[in-house]
Amino acid sequence: MNSHYEAPLDESIFLLKEVIEWKTLFEYPAFNHVDEDLATAVLSEAAKFTSEVLAPLNEIGDSQGSRLIDGKVVTPDGFRQAYADFIESGWPGLDMPEKYGGQALPLSVQVAFAEMVNGACISFGMLPIMLRAAATLLLEHGGTEIIDRVVPNLVSGKWGATICITEAQAGSDVGRIKTLARPQADGSYHLSGSKIFISYGDHDLTNQITHLVLARTPDAPAGTRGISLFLVPKIHFDSDSQNQVSVSRLEKKMGLKASPTCVLDLDEAVAYRIGEENRGLNCMFTMVNLMRLEVSIQGPAIASAACRKALAYARERMQGGAPDKKALPIIEHADVRRMLYIMRARTEAMRALVFEAAFNLDVARADADKENARAAKQLAELLLPVCKAAGSQTGFDVANLAVQVLGGHGYISDHGVEQYVRDARVAMIYEGSNGIQALDLVTRKLLKDEGQRYNIFVNRIKQDITRFENIERCKLILSGLHQGLQHLSSSTDFLLNCKPEAIRDVETGAADYLNLLALVASSWMWLRMVAHVDESTEFGLSKLAVGNFHTEHMMPECQLLSERVMLGAGTIDSLSSDVLAG
């Protein structure tokens, strides 16, 4: 029972079909080989595959973990066979170009698939994320020779890939990386240094692994302007011998135990530069952004899995009620219902928001109208840090609530919900911690472009308010959304009016601002969901009730968040660091 997983197929199809309106995508030349039937069939097959093949790995992956044996990483029982089945079915290349063996489906369909993979077994899902992101990076920044050699193998899943940024002294502060890249006479480079926390830095699922590594050439300027990007194959391309890349340590960690987190040592490892020298971080952002979108869906993925377990348990578990009568199922108790409503309200809104971000990336890529494409790209850029931070927070919080609903039976490992808490936690840290996402949102996405992206976001919401304002069942959500927008507007004005010397005020309010924007965006998603349901169905009734709950119980937080955004740094900076640390 622990590993049981039921993919949210109906929910995903509802969102893609009715709310995101994927039929508009299928009209673009880039996607006109796809139609609703094909995309639905793919996701139905995915639901089956993830629950039958991947979900059984989740518990054993957690209890066994990946192991380092004689310098090589061995994945838990069953992972090799499941990976072989995964690539045999062509799942790694769902949204990759047909020219390289992919199926060129929209990213919004891929993201729905990614939710299923991560909900079934997030440790397994960590590898395919990197294959697609690395292939996309190479297609954008690599030379023809590297593309032809590497990309088809990533798209087929025959080769693995990693993203190697972090070093002991360079976590969030990427500019401090020290790994050295020495140019060689033949145009290649030799890399030396140590990368830490590298996911799937080594494993036994593929023979070859292509590491995408940030390093600096000998005379590179300090900071992020002196970073270049390199591809380091585990096995030399021109011989079958091993490159000078080794795993010196496998981290023991809180969750995600089957996903090997490696210290990778590079000792004059042969490497090939990707993109221009000193422009490596810009190139790497292609990979990072795509991975951030996938990390965004990891939150709702775990939240949804946890939610389903909590709902099923709450219907079965009998506690409370009059002593002379049969005990009640705990789903009857108000406090348990409150928790279940919160879980659904947050999970379903975040899933919709991540789909919306992916949809806009699809439009940005496929729309020939430059203005439409630009607006879609800018909206996606604003939503990305919000989806990453609020999505991962939702995954953790909802999993935590699931433990509460199950009581002691949630805290022990029998039902698998405590594993969700442990597995979900890291998504708030990797791919840029949530604090860094908040800074990205307020400094780059809001202040630097003087609110342009923000205006696109608000105008889209206002268009939908006009579109749905006459639908009676949307009235409550509409009023909550109006109020939320007012609080967001006050906070945005406050931030935009902060003088450069008041940057501490901006930084202090960043996390609350992100949460405020996420709440308003969630309300926008609830409006669109409720506007599209048929109230005479159970599905429609249920959406309406949860949407109204979101408005009544969660939207009042907008006021609190807005007030906190506008507090500034006064109290935060009232103690010196020495006194604060005691």
Ligand X SMILES: Cc1cc2nc3c(=O)[nH]c(=O)nc-3n(C[C@H](O)[C@H](O)[C@H](O)COP(=O)(O)OP(=O)(O)OC[C@H]3O[C@@H](n4cnc5c(N)ncnc54)[C@H](O)[C@@H]3O)c2cc1C
Can you read off the two tokens belonging to residue 147?
A: 């593309």
3-state secondary structure of 74: strand
Q: Which is nearer to ligand X, 271 or 439 (CB)?
A: 439
Residue 264, strand partner residues:
195, 247
Site track for ligand X across 159-188, x = CB under 6 A: ---xxxxx----xx----------------
Stretch of 225-233, 375-383, 410-418, 430-438 lying at the interface with ligand X (CB under 6 A): 430-438
3-state secondary structure of 218: coil
Of residues 3, 153, 199, 491, which one binds ligand X by CB under 6 A?
199
Using CB under 6 A as the binding rule, the residues of this chain from 473 to 532 that contact ligand X are none
Q: Which is nearer to ligand X, 108 or 179 (CB)?
A: 179
Q: Which is nearer to ligand X, 191 or 307 (CB)?
A: 191
Check residue 430 for interaction with ligand X (CB under 6 A). Answer: yes
Of residues 433, 455, 489, 559, which one binds ligand X by CB under 6 A?
433
Stretch of 27-35, 80-88, 158-166, 474-482 lying at the interface with ligand X (CB under 6 A): 158-166
* Beta strand pairing call for 209-215 and 160-164: parallel
Stretch of 191-199, 277-285, 310-318, 390-398 lying at the interface with ligand X (CB under 6 A): 191-199
Q: How far is the CB of 485 from ligand X (least distance, A)?
A: 28
Number of residues engaging ligand X in binding (CB under 6 A): 20
C-alpha gyration radius of the chain: 24
Can you read off the two tokens belonging to residue 134?
A: 């690395």
Instruction: Pick the closest to residue 276 from 284, 268, 288, 264 (CA basis).
Output: 284
Q: How far is the CB of 459 from ligand X (least distance, A)?
A: 31
Q: Identify the active-site residue in 167, 294, 356, 431.
A: 431
- Looking from the CA of 15 toward its CB, the CA atoms found within 13 Å total 24
Check residue 64 for interaction with ligand X (CB under 6 A). Answer: no
Tokens 């105008």 correspond to 459
What residue type is 250 in one-letter code?
L
Instruction: Pick the closest to residue 303 from 171, 165, 115 (CA basis).
Output: 115
CA dihedral sign of residues 374, 378, 384, 387: negative
Q: Which is nearer to ligand X, 197 or 454 (CB)?
A: 197
Q: Which is nearer to ligand X, 360 or 437 (CB)?
A: 437
Number of CB atoms found within 10 A of residue 170's CB: 18
Number of CB atoms found within 10 A of residue 361's CB: 24
Check residue 435 for interaction with ligand X (CB under 6 A). Answer: yes
Q: Which is nearer to ligand X, 118 or 199 (CB)?
A: 199
3-state secondary structure of 473: helix
**Nearest residue to ligand X, by Cβ distance, number only:** 171
Q: What angle do CA 16, 307, 557 make, to 5 degrees?
A: 85
Q: How far is the CB of 435 from ligand X (least distance, A)?
A: 3
431 is catalytic: yes
Stretch of 37-45, 114-122, 195-203, 391-399 lying at the interface with ligand X (CB under 6 A): 195-203
Check residue 198 for interaction with ligand X (CB under 6 A). Answer: yes
Q: Which is nearer to ligand X, 7 or 428 (CB)?
A: 428
Residue 69, strand partner residues:
72
Site track for ligand X across 238-277, x = CB under 6 A: ---------------x--x----x----------------
Residues 231/181, Cβ–Cβ less than 8 Å: no
Q: Report how far residue 249's alpha carbon sits from residue 327's, in angstroms, rounded to the nearest whole number.
A: 52
Check residue 421 for interaction with ligand X (CB under 6 A). Answer: no
Q: Report how far residue 359's alpha carbon sits from residue 381's, in angstroms, rounded to the nearest whole number.
A: 12
What does DSSP assign to residue 567? T
| Contacting positions for ligand X (CB under 6 A) | 162-166, 171-172, 197-199, 253, 256, 261, 426, 429-430, 433, 435-436, 439
Catalytic residues: 431
